[in-house]
Structure 1
């Protein structure tokens, strides 16, 4: 799952939870008018609307940051794959004794047998 998808999923879950809490507070205010103030519905609406709007705005910004990070991750992955595909195809790397060693032998060990002065 990409970072964009995770951010979108978490934002939707948080917004749904806040909407449910808002619904609960609104229904509580209607069911118990003697336990709440006269402006309870207005205060709850302004507070929850502001909270949900702010979190949605933060979620949108995080979505764009996650999209940028996903793009960088894909670019780095492609770069690594390109490097891993081209390194074994290199011919040879010269040593100090006019001997040659392949890239695979450099990767396999620091001093392969028969090349005491190389590396």
Structure 2
């Protein structure tokens, strides 16, 4: 993804950046931009890992199962994974653990 790429701008390493839209702001000097939109299937992730041969996968914790194929491909190739945690919610934001709990809250049950 493209969020937070400025943090890697000064790192002297090659980056493959996959994003839906071209990123703004500073980017690592050595990078290749892969514009694509998920969801991504396991076979496609395997093919990408074979073509790119990453040393480390950096991914965000976006929730849900969409990240599973790239994590599986990384595990199969022995590629270490760094997962960037989600930022904390702003104060006063209610969180419910399940859809049923959210519906109950909305309906006043």
TM-score range, shorter chain: under 0.3
Higher strand share: 2
| TM-score normalised according to structure 2 size | 0.22
From the CA coordinates, give the structure whose radius of gyration is larger. Answer: 1
Higher helix share: 1
User: Which gives a bigger RCO, structure 1 or 2 (Cα 8 Å, sep 6+)?
Assistant: 1
